[in-house]
Amino acid sequence: MLMRSGPIALGGAVLVLGGAAVLGEANAHLPGNQQGYQPDQPIRYSHRMHAGEMQMDCRYCHFAAETGRHAGVPPAQVCMNCHGQVTAGADVLLAERKAALDEKRDPRRIVSDRLRPLYDALAIGDDGKPDSSRTPRPIAWVRIHDLPDFVAFDHSVHVTRGVACQACHGPVEAMEQVRQEAPLTMGWCVECHRANGREGGVAIPPVAARAPDHVSVDCAACHY
Ligand code: HEC
Ligand code: HEC
Ligand code: HEC
Ligand code: HEC
Ligand code: HEC
């Protein structure tokens, strides 16, 4: 920046201001366009760690995507399949195991601060046992993608025909925190349907059972 002459620096400043104005608008969440929306969640659950590093299948948790309209968010019990044993990050658990070995004792059970909200939601104590003095309550995940009710969208028609989650949600396996990648506007739906209709078929590799004439741009396909 210091090396730049006046007029170029001025140009840069104008551009930065322009960019800020555009971002400001996107953050205002105009109805029907929440592209980029990335709310904080009640638990700092990481898709990058689980679906990326650990390569968990999306459908292990979003199993409903194959059979119905909604992909759904998994109930806390699904998390406890692992987090009954994995009570903290690997680094913390390994350090405790080593300390226990050195001190010739049993390793202590450590529930990390990041996982405690999961235990709280299920009313399970740090010892892994149900705590009868507390009531379980569902985790209040903040909904990110949300189409208006007058639109008929169904996950299963897409997922069972081989449209990848990432085609609509972007590289979720690289996201520390999920954000809405696509605009979710009518134009966005129709553009992909056009590209994959009878004449198209470039954006998505054809899969065996695919019926391209079902990639409809008729109003009635998406509106009741
Ligand atoms: C271990 C369980 C688990 C796995 C595996 C998983 N997810 Fe998720 N997903 C969640 C949870 C919990 C939430 C809600 C909290 C959040 O947004 O991070 C969520 C939220 C989402 C959302 C946003 C939902 C909304 O409110 O709009 C999308 C999109 C999503 N996941 C896609 C994926 C994709 C794609 C994969 C595979 C690459 C995947 N998930 C793998 C548990 C999982
Ligand atoms: C053709 C585009 C498309 C594909 C493919 C797709 N989604 Fe979605 N997804 C959407 C849209 C649109 C919404 C918003 C739905 C609504 O509000 O009714 C959504 C919502 C979600 C949600 C929020 C909860 C819900 O069901 O409304 C999750 C979680 C999710 N998707 C995960 C996935 C996963 C995992 C896959 C792959 C197995 C996937 N999606 C494939 C477009 C897609
Ligand atoms: C298949 C097993 C498995 C499932 C299912 C699973 N996790 Fe994990 N999770 C792990 C492992 C293993 C780690 C530790 C990774 C590390 O530290 O390298 C972890 C780490 C975490 C952490 C960070 C803990 C810390 O203290 O650093 C959080 C938070 C978390 N998971 C939340 C969840 C939530 C919420 C769900 C359910 C939606 C879930 N996990 C489902 C295996 C799983
Ligand atoms: C990435 C591409 C893509 C996007 C984006 C997309 N779709 Fe689709 N959609 C498809 C494909 C491919 C099919 C055809 C599946 C088949 O072969 O039957 C389809 C089928 C459908 C069908 C079934 C139509 C019929 O006549 O049976 C509906 C309804 C639908 N999509 C609604 C939507 C809506 C609503 C959106 C936007 C919120 C959307 N789609 C976004 C690719 C997409
Ligand atoms: C492939 C799916 C799809 C098809 C086909 C489709 N729409 Fe839509 N439509 C949507 C989605 C998604 C929205 C909500 C997002 C938005 O407003 O852009 C929407 C919104 C609308 C709205 C509300 C706009 C607003 O500003 O609130 C109207 C009106 C509408 N559509 C009419 C039509 C008509 C008429 C046709 C046929 C020429 C049609 N749609 C075909 C998916 C579709």
Q: How confident is the model over 30-86, as pLDDT tens digits?
A: 455 689 999 999 999 999 999 999 999 999 999 999 999 999 999 999 999 999 999
Which of 36, 37, 62, 33 minimizes the C-alpha distance to 47? 62
Q: Would you say the CB of residue 44 lies under 6 angstroms from ligand 3?
A: yes
For 165, half-sphere exposure in the C-beta direction (CA atoms, 13 angstrom radius) is 15
pTM: predicted TM-score of the whole model, two decimal places: 0.89
Q: Would you say the CB of residue 189 lies under 6 angstroms from ligand 2?
A: no
> Is 155 exposed, middle or buried, given 0-12, 13-18 or 19+ CB atoms closer than 10 A?
buried
The answer, yes or no, to whether any atom of ligand 3 lies below 6 A from the CB of 162, is no
Nearest protein Cα to ligand 2, atom 6: 165
Per-residue pLDDT of the chain (224 residues; tens, 9 = 90+): 333 333 333 333 333 333 333 333 333 444 556 899 999 999 999 999 999 999 999 999 999 999 999 999 999 999 999 999 999 999 999 999 999 999 999 999 999 999 999 999 999 999 999 999 999 999 999 999 999 999 999 999 999 888 999 999 999 999 999 999 999 999 999 999 888 775 544 444 444 444 555 678 888 889 97
Domain locations along the chain: 32-40+143-222
